[in-house]
Amino acid sequence: MDKSIELEELAGSLLEYDIQGDPFLAITGIEYDSRKVKPGNLFVAMRGMKTDGHEYVGDAIKRGAVGLVVEEDVGERSVSRIRVPNARKALAGLAARFYNNPADKLKIIGVTGTNGKTTTCHMIAEILKASGKKPGLMGTLYIKVGDETFPTNITTPESLDIHRYLARMVESGVETAVMEVSSHALYFGRVDGIKFQGAIFTNLSQDHLDFHGDMDSYFEQKKKLFGMVKPAERGGFALLNSDDAMTPRIIKSLTVPFRSYGIYRHPDIRAGDIQTDITGTSFVAESKEWDVPVHTKFMGIFNVYNALASVGAGLGLGIPPAFISKGLRDLPGVRGRFESVDKGQQFGVIVDYAHTPDGLRNVLKSAKTITKNRLILVFGCGGDRDRTKRSIMGKVAAEYADYIIITSDNPRTEDPMSIISDIRSGVEKGNMDYIIDPDRKSAIIEAVEEAKPGDVVMIAGKGHEDYQILGDKVIHFDDVEVAGEALGMKKKYD
């Protein structure tokens, strides 16, 4: 995008600011990473969890920054400055103004919750595609603009990247986009200023307590999304999982029309006649006004909820039921979400991102329904993250799996054996046999070697990730890839 905007006009998007220097300075771009700064750019010095952008002001100027956004006096007078109380929150307004407020030109569906965000977003995108619309998608796996795919390494990007890609969507003819909205994104203000056409709540269970501290604080961040929905007169709506205990608390704060979806507690959109097996799941999404037949290649009751949410989103956007059915039927799968690794073997191998107690329970329950013999589980927990969920996940594993291999996930800077010890304390409550192998590759190979006809091997925790974080190093590691190699080795020597 070749454009420029005057500093004063850009700053006009902020509620509180002080310009020091030339207010008519032409800004050709915005960056918050000093390494990406180009001549003519405005550098936003954000404070992060580990680094402070104010320390990189000099580097940004050397690379051509002509303006700065700062929270404090950095002693730099060679370029213009915008002084703000919070540079991270200011970035959202600056980015929206620079890219001509692209969010206002789109219908954006935001999906929040602990589990199910990625699958639900993909389902909605496929429904849009089935109805003849060019979808936009922003989430954990990647950013998609129609058929174009862009990499990402975070569930919800920083606000600058959000508006940059929303602008690209507008230019490409996208009218409706779907976005995963994480609790971190809401806490840090990455989606500040965006008015969502619809907001979806999937569920809430233990996760990220290392960051939020407790479940109430975690929930309060999730709840923020529902205060960012367009008013009813502009078609705004909310969709809430009626079977989740937190839904009544969201309803109390809602100012827009909402529908509930679920299976048990008399929801507005209910799943009836549910049938699930190794080929997928079928049911009828029922309401007072219509029935939508659903068949999806996704297995398990937890995916019934994801599909119900996407049905509700489609109807909220005015998409006819026939296209909703087609979209759900056409979606082949989502990377790392109950993904089957099939090399012609006589047992199942499934890779899933499940990394929370509730997520692990859901995938193991679903795997049990297709297991004729033993359910073999390989899993670990991430280091430098919520320690309290490790023993809980161990207990869940012992409740459902027949054979457990406890291994490493992304240990980061923690001792892998210390993480494994936390998990083991929960597994031992189930009074069952297990083995420990901190080498994830070796653990996966061991599980595949152990498997016999009728077994199912579940490899949980990393899903779509193609890396492993060991200390301060990031190495290539892909569960699907390793499982495939292990299957090839087993077939060769069987």
Distance of CA 93 to the CA centre of its chain: 23
Q: Which residues contact 262 (CB under 8 A, 6 or more apart)?
A: 241, 242, 243, 269, 270, 271, 305, 308
Q: Which pTM was predicted?
A: 0.93
Say if domain 339-493 classifies as CATH 3.90.190.20.
yes
Coil, strand or helix: which one is 414?
Answer: coil
Q: Which residues of 254-290 are buried (b: 16+ CB within 10 A; e: fewer)?
A: bebebbbbbbeeebbbbbeeeebeeebbbbebbbeee
Q: Tens digits of per-residue pLDDT, 236-247?
A: 999 999 999 999
Banded model confidence at residue 1, pLDDT cuts 50, 70, 90: low
Q: Tens digits of per-residue pLDDT, 285-302?
A: 999 888 999 999 999 999
Cα separations in angstroms, 306 against 203, 207, 255, 348? 10, 19, 24, 23
Which class in CATH covers the domain with range 5-98? alpha beta
Q: Which residues of 146-175 are buried (b: 16+ CB within 10 A; e: fewer)?
A: beeeeebeebbbbbbbbbbbbbbbbeeebe
The domain ranges of the chain are 5-98, 102-330, 339-493
Coil, strand or helix: which one is 272?
Answer: strand
Q: Which residue has the tokens 């969507």?
A: 169
Q: Tens digits of per-residue pLDDT, 128-187?
A: 999 999 999 999 999 999 889 999 988 899 999 999 999 999 999 999 999 999 999 999
Q: What is the pLDDT of residue 406?
A: 98
102-330: CATH number: 3.40.1190.10
Q: Tens digits of per-residue pLDDT, 417-452?
A: 999 999 999 999 887 889 999 999 999 999 999 999
C-beta separation of 166 from 103 below 8 A: yes
